[in-house]
Amino acid sequence: MTQQAVLTAVEIAQIRNDFPILEQQVNGHELVYLDSGATSQKPISVLDAVQEYNEMRNAAVHRGAHTLAAGATELFEQARQKVAAFVGADDSEIAWTKNATEAINAVAYGFINASAGRGGEAARQFALQPGDEIVTTEMEHHANLVPWQEVAAHTGATLRHIPLTDEGTLDLEAAQAIIGERTRVVAFTHVSNVLGTINPVDELVALARGVGAYTVLDACQSAPHLPLDLHALDVDFAAFSGHKMLAPTGIGALYGRAELLDALPPFITGGSMITTVTLDHTEFMPAPTKFEAGTQPVAQVVGFGAAVDYLSHIGLDRVAAWEHELGQRLAAGVADIAGVRLLGPAPGTARAGMVSFDVAGVHAHDVGQVLDDRGIAVRVGHHCAQPLHRRYGVTASTRASSYLYTTAEEVDEFLDALSGVRAYFGVGR
């Protein structure tokens, strides 16, 4: 494809041809899939890569000495190289997990194990104690909040939170006051999975660096949609999921700076991640292998590599540019509908290609049902972010999220359907 700033309508039509699921009808209407923030659809190239592996390449990786096992191991490690390069990391800095939640837990429980004396001298840097502080934010997905609650409970450290402003952004003035000499960890999302807010990673990393704290980035909503260079962002750890970026479910990635990943104690132990085992003691492999205990999801890893190939071919800068346009179209359209409250940054403000909103007098689940009757798939509920919803005085919201295969016409169809929801329920007459 020609390199242009934004994907053209012709190119998007070509892209959509690669996604068979988008061709179906739902409730008598053409499917409008606006739930990519929850999970993306898979192109034929990814589906084929997984099937071809299972049919012709399947074997245990890093174990067998036979030809088939060697070939499977090569594909497994080639995928690691692809994913690492895609996010600006070295091969040794990417460990496979089953999802981003597991990746964040790997870091969190690494701190817990280090605090319990595990991991030797190298791991002491991660040990926490009463008086230490862990800082997260009020907008976090539960996957980047609950694990840190567990760390605090196990270690006696104090958990603090950067608050949200009324505009749906982090209160950076408050952050400057909260992140201080007692702060040991700052864990935050790159892009809010509810508000679409794109956080200033550089400013938050600078605050953490200034007090010697570790940074943990939830990149689930950025890795699929924005060009990502984890080295340039200078974060210590990061997590992202394959299924949100065209890959199969059941595969995610933990990034850690090489020297930190080597020092962090593992929390899932067993076979394939060891060097020596006696009845009383075990020595672990270096990272990333020590975080990959047991049989790995090799087919999913191969699919992840194929997904990265697909996105690289399109150009993530172009995907980001297109989703920026869609995000503004969604935000402006939702804000213009009477009785519908847009959550997060106002139209015209930088945001991801998603919107969440509250329809006055209509529960989010009912909103979703009306849209589904029109063949429009959206997400409803608290989106694993209850504190965020509580901050804005709602228990649930409806979210529409786009991706590279979303068209402007689909956005307009969604907005048209949304504009009739309150009338459908006889609200606001």
Distance CA 192, CA 170 (A): 10
Which amino acid is located at 149 in the chain?
Answer: Q
Q: How far apart are CA 364 and CA 341, in angstroms?
A: 12
Instruction: Give the count of beta carbons closer than 10 Å to the beta carbon of residue 350.
Output: 12
Closest C-alpha to 44, from 224, 309, 250: 309
Q: What is the 3 state secondary structure string of 211-238? A: CCCEEEEECCCCCCCCCCCHHHHCCCEE
**Options 12, 174, 268, 384, the catalytic residue:** 384
Cβ pair 90, 146 in contact under 8 A: no
Between β-strands 133-137 and 274-277, what pairing exists: parallel, antiparallel or unpaired? unpaired
From residue 326, give the alpha-carbon distance in Å to each of 59, 113, 312, 361, 412.
42, 44, 20, 27, 10
CA dist 232 and 185 (Å) reads 19
Strand partners, 161: 136
384 is catalytic: yes
Tell me the C-alpha distance between 112 and 118, whole Å: 9
Chain-centre distance of CA 87, in angstroms? Answer: 13
Least Cα distance to 89 among 261, 225, 248 occurs for: 261
Active-site residue list: 384
